[in-house]
Structure 1
Amino acid sequence: MTPFLNIRLSRTALQLMAAGLVAGGAAMPASAVTLTTASPPASFADTALPGTSAALRPELAGTVLTDQITPFSFQGLEGTVQSRVVREAASGTLDFYWRLNVSRDASGVGLSAFRLVDFGMPQLVDADWRMDGLGQVSPSTARLFSASTQPSGAINFLFDTPIAAGSGSTFFFLKTTATDYAATGRFDLLTGGAQNLSPIYGTLAPVPEPTTWALGLVGLVVAATARRWQQRK
């Protein structure tokens, strides 16, 4: 797994970055984009992402806790993935951001998807991308996989316009109820066809709250007890 390259910035700079340094873009709905959940037998559901900003959603303003850069290289593409965690000023909860940059593309196809797993589905609130920051290409769709097929949490950000060499994506994010994080998530990248995948890399993800851990443990105990009862019967 490729190690992260840490970036350390002053507290003032991080706060400005979290609030959004550049204002721009057309007016968009200020409401949160709640992720559509899949209904059986479907294994996933898509949600359109219109874009938003700190001006439209003031609750997103906060302090950047960390920025990590992960270099990637596959299928003739080279670049970096920027992973960012922001603590919202009002609620104290965490928002997780990513930004993709392509420095070289020998294939001429570009990046078409960011695929995130092991993120922690119970703590997801909503998703979108920021139009008040860096980047030229925004994700059009968030594809949320069902808990039955991906119990640890899986979501894809899809780009209708692939990210070409010399360009980068806007910051796209997942808003959560988490208050702590760790490098426990994973992602890969897609170019061209469905099998043109990158290696798997590490990224930042929510740490389950103590109550979540407790409920999970209770569920495991109940399941184990039921199995033993059925075996005896």
Structure 2
Amino acid sequence: MQHLSRFALPVITLGVGLLAQTAAQAVALTEPVSPAPFADTALGGTTSAARPELAGTVLEDVITPFSFSGVSGTVQNRVVRETGTGTLDFYWKVNVDPSTSGVGVSAFRLADFGYSHLKDADYRTDGLGTTGPDTARLFNPASYPTGDLNFLFANGVNPGSESRLFFLHTNALSYDRIATYDMLTTGAQNLSGTFTTFAPAVPEPASFALTGAGLLMMGALLRRRRPN
């Protein structure tokens, strides 16, 4: 995933309507308008009191270690099914080891997450961690059709600190470990390797059902038209 080269790529059209304000405290992501390759949205943080719809059951909670370019730590990846709607929210949290010397993490970059299920993004201020991403950068599907989004930390997640849980609020009903992420260091912005992460399943079960129904209908029509 080479997000660093995104700025030089031409963008022709924005073919997908993505995101909408879903609650009074939701931070709706700004859609990029061609020819812009991306659009930034400022994140201010939220709580379960401000957004009670986020309450739910943790389905997955995976911690993955990383080490690159002098920085090490872990990334926590969580999937939550909302109690009220049954839809899924995807969380991440970056922890940087105290032993790391003088370098932290400035960006968490998602790829292959998809666009169709995205609703909004933010970070939680009512849990562990001290640093929230101040910006969510959504890339243009005209040039990045698989769904790319960066969480940017202006001051970095620095040695001995941990980020807040930051999240993507979606209307997905199922998930799989099909997306990827990488990270950038502060300072020289060295790039990590690629790690897998959870994302909305593609296609959703409902899509399978519709596809199956469509194939059955086509089969029936073909049988009717076939000469005896």
Coarse TM-score class (shorter-chain normalised): 0.7 to 0.9
* Counterpart-to-counterpart distance in 2, 1:126 and 1:54: 15
1:206 matched to 2:200: yes
Shift of the 106–79 alpha-carbon distance from structure 1 to 2, 3 Å rule, reads: closer
Q: Which runs of 5+ in 1 are unaligned?
A: 1-28, 217-233
Q: Which runs of 5+ in 2 are unaligned?
A: 1-22, 212-228
1:188 matched to 2:182: yes
Please give the secondary structure, in 2, of the residue aligned with 1:63.
Answer: strand
1:81, distance to aligned residue in structure 2 (A): 0.3
Please give the secondary structure, in 2, of the residue aligned with 1:121.
Answer: coil
1:150 matched to 2:147: no
Judge which range, 70-79 or 185-194, deviates more. Answer: 185-194
Number of the residue aligned with 1:89 = 83
Aligned identity (percent) is: 58
Shift of the 31–166 alpha-carbon distance from structure 1 to 2, 3 Å rule, reads: same
Number of the residue aligned with 2:171 = 177
TM-score if structure 1 supplies the norm length?
0.76
Please give the secondary structure, in 2, of the residue aligned with 1:59.
Answer: helix
Please give the secondary structure, in 1, of the residue aligned with 2:116.
Answer: helix
* Counterpart-to-counterpart distance in 2, 1:200 and 1:194: 18
> Which residue of the other structure, out of 104, 113, 125, is the alignment partner of 1:110?
104
**Residue type of the partner of 2:95?**
N
TM-score if structure 2 supplies the norm length?
0.78
Number of the residue aligned with 1:138 = 132
* Counterpart-to-counterpart distance in 2, 1:194 and 1:38: 27
Q: Deviations over 1:164-197 (max 9, x none)?
A: 1111000000001111111101000001357510
Please give the secondary structure, in 2, of the residue aligned with 1:101.
Answer: strand
May I ask how many residue pairs the two structures share in their alignment? 188
* Counterpart-to-counterpart distance in 1, 2:53 and 2:31: 24
> Which residue of the other structure, out of 44, 49, 52, is the alignment partner of 1:50?
44
Shift of the 70–30 alpha-carbon distance from structure 1 to 2, 3 Å rule, reads: same
Q: Deviations over 1:19-43 (max 9, x none)?
A: xxxxxxxxxx952111001011100
> Which residue of the other structure, out of 165, 171, 174, is the alignment partner of 2:159?
165
Judge which range, 106-115 or 51-60, deviates more. Answer: 106-115
CA contact (8 A) 2:95 2:162 kept: yes
Number of the residue aligned with 1:231 = none
**Residue type of the partner of 1:173?**
F
CA contact (8 A) 2:70 2:103 kept: no
Number of the residue aligned with 2:68 = 74
* Counterpart-to-counterpart distance in 2, 1:121 and 1:212: 16
Give the number of the structure whose alpha-carbon radius of gyration is greater: 2
* Counterpart-to-counterpart distance in 2, 1:215 and 1:194: 48
Judge which range, 99-108 or 122-131, deviates more. Answer: 99-108
